[in-house]
Amino acid sequence: MTGVLVASQTDLLYARQQMALSLGTHIVIACLGMAFPFLVVVAEWRGNRTGDAIYTTLARRWAKAMGVLFAVGAVSGTILSFEFGILWPRWMGRYGAVMGLPFAIEGFAFFLEAIFIGIYLYGWDRLPARVHQAVGLAIGVAGVASAFFVVAANGWMNDPTGFHIVGGKVVDVKPWAALFNSALWPEATHMILGAFIVAGCLVATPHAWALLRGRGTRYHRVGLALALTVAMLAAPVQIVVGDWAARHVAQKQPIKLAAIEGVTHTQRGAPLHIGGLYVDGAIKGGLRIPNLLSLLAYDDPHATVQGLETVPVSDRPPVNVVRTAFQLMVAIGFAMLGLGAWLGLAWRRRRSLPRSPWFLRAAVLSGPAAVLALECGWIVTEVGRQPWIVYRVMRVRDAVSDASGLRYGYFLLIAVYTGLAIATFTVLRRLARVPLPAETEPTPPGAPA
């Protein structure tokens, strides 16, 4: 915005990388923070209702993992709050008063989450079952609420409202209008559903793996069925909501849409390309379906789609990054629809999981695939907004700190996150290896899962 001195271009790059690394890490654990409590409570509730010890065992063992993940989630989120100021002080200094409110509200959701997780994990034997389950639900509700509010802040970056700029000054600040920006609704819905997909699939993965390796028992089958069912219920809805999100992007962020689809020239009746690469302003390879983009984005096969050429080159996001990420996300979305259909059909026919080992292989892959879709979605949102930190209001390079040496913080964080990832994985694996209680008898070797 203003012609102030900015940090060197390389430090800007490191700052962006650092933000991407921390957010990309936090979001995976945050998804578990939102949806895992619901899985645990469902298992606990089934255990209490049916008296089936398998469910109770599941709930208790999952809760242990949840406790570990919660600690990691809390600390990985804390560093984000620091980074907003450390990396982007000009953005916070200038717009903190406009977009701070959702974070202030989110703080209370964090409090409730942290309180209830303490009560849930440590109060298992002392609290009445109903109260205990309600506390577990409250963790999840608070988690979903915190996601709603934090995505409101992100939505504001995509669709900045609730202020005016007069003579270079931010005036007429309306924090509630900023919070309830129009991007909030599709984004938050898509994010929360995404969290259920990610958590369900990530929990399914190790159970499917054990079954595939012949180490599985009824415990693993029940765990797999429960977690995967939750994810697969969300998956079809996610496609519909993704479409909603895309239409919103078409309305409010036309250049992001142009990057998602690789549209260089403004055109009527724009085609949709599946696959291929964006080379020299056109899509090479892939499948071309005439008029479909116009139809999907604007409900009219002849509607006009704005092209990248309408803005200067320096204002265009990197098309291939955004476009490839989008295609991957959508591909995974449809693959999950297929996996869900498989699961649903087998369940209707035989009241059991599909017998094929290919199903187990797909279930093992579903966790990493869901995480990939999640990261891709965020790449679409964040990289697709480039070069703007606040769409059409503030550029990333005007927001970054002018402090020297930012890169060393980034290097330090790479080391910390690597260590954290390895340790988290090791600890969770150790928890999974603790022998099951006696009542959960193993399947005889060689038996189909």
> Which residues would be at the binding site for ligand HEM (CB under 6 A)?
16, 19-20, 23-24, 26-27, 29-30, 33-34, 69-70, 73-74, 77-78, 80-81, 84, 88, 110, 113-114, 143, 146-147, 150-151, 153-154, 157, 191, 375, 378-379, 382-383, 385-386, 389, 396
Region near another protein per CB under 8 A, out of 61-69, 210-218, 351-359, 382-390? 61-69
* Shortest reach from residue 187's CB to ligand HDD, in Å: 4
Whether 93 and 29 have beta carbons less than 8 Å apart is answered as no
Give, as ranges, the residues between 263 and 292 that touch another protein (CB under 8 A). Answer: none
Q: Name which of 77 and 136 has its Cβ closer to ligand HDD.
A: 77
Alpha-helix residue ranges (DSSP H) falling in 274-318 = 292-298
Does 401 help bind another protein (rule: CB under 8 A)? Answer: yes
Give the angle subtended at the CA of 196 by the CAs of 193 and 197, to the nearest 5°: 90
Q: Name which of 122 and 358 has its Cβ closer to ligand HEM.
A: 122
Phi, psi angle pair for 279, to nearest 5°: -125, 130
Residue 243's binding partner among ligand HEM, ligand HDD, another protein, none (Cβ under 5 to 8 angstroms by kind) is ligand HDD
Assign 395 to helix, strand or coil.
Answer: strand
Q: Hey, what are 191's tokens?
A: 């994010």
Which residue pairs, CB below 8 angstroms and at least 24 apart, start in 71-78?
72/29, 72/420, 72/424, 73/26, 73/29, 73/30, 73/32, 73/33, 74/110, 74/114, 76/22, 76/25, 76/26, 76/29, 76/420, 77/26, 77/30, 77/110
User: Tokens 């109260």 label which residue?
Assistant: 131
Give the angle subtended at the CA of 193 by the CAs of 88 and 425, to the nearest 5°: 70
* Shortest reach from residue 197's CB to ligand HDD, in Å: 4
Q: Which of 79, 239, 335, 436 forms a contact with another protein (CB under 8 A)?
A: 79
Give, as ranges, the residues between 109 and 168 that touch another protein (CB under 8 A). Answer: 110-112, 114-127
Q: Which of 49, 174, 288, 361 forms a contact with another protein (CB under 8 A)?
A: 174
Does 432 help bind another protein (rule: CB under 8 A)? Answer: no
71-to-75, 225, 268, 315, 368 alpha-carbon distances in Å: 6, 27, 51, 40, 22
Q: Which of 72, 246, 339, 362 forms a contact with another protein (CB under 8 A)?
A: 72
* Shortest reach from residue 173's CB to ligand HDD, in Å: 23
72 phi-psi bin (left φ>0, alpha ψ -120 to 50, beta other): alpha
Whether 307 and 265 have beta carbons less than 8 Å apart is answered as yes
Contacts to ligand HDD by CB under 6 A = 158, 183, 187, 190-191, 194, 197-198, 238-239, 242-243, 245-246, 249, 329-330, 332-334, 336, 370, 373-374, 377-378, 380-381, 384
User: What is the distance between the alpha carbons of residues 158 and 68, in angstroms, rounded to a whole number?
Assistant: 33
Residue 249's binding partner among another protein, ligand HDD, ligand HEM, none (Cβ under 5 to 8 angstroms by kind) is ligand HDD
* Shortest reach from residue 322's CB to ligand HDD, in Å: 9
Residue 187's binding partner among another protein, ligand HDD, ligand HEM, none (Cβ under 5 to 8 angstroms by kind) is ligand HDD
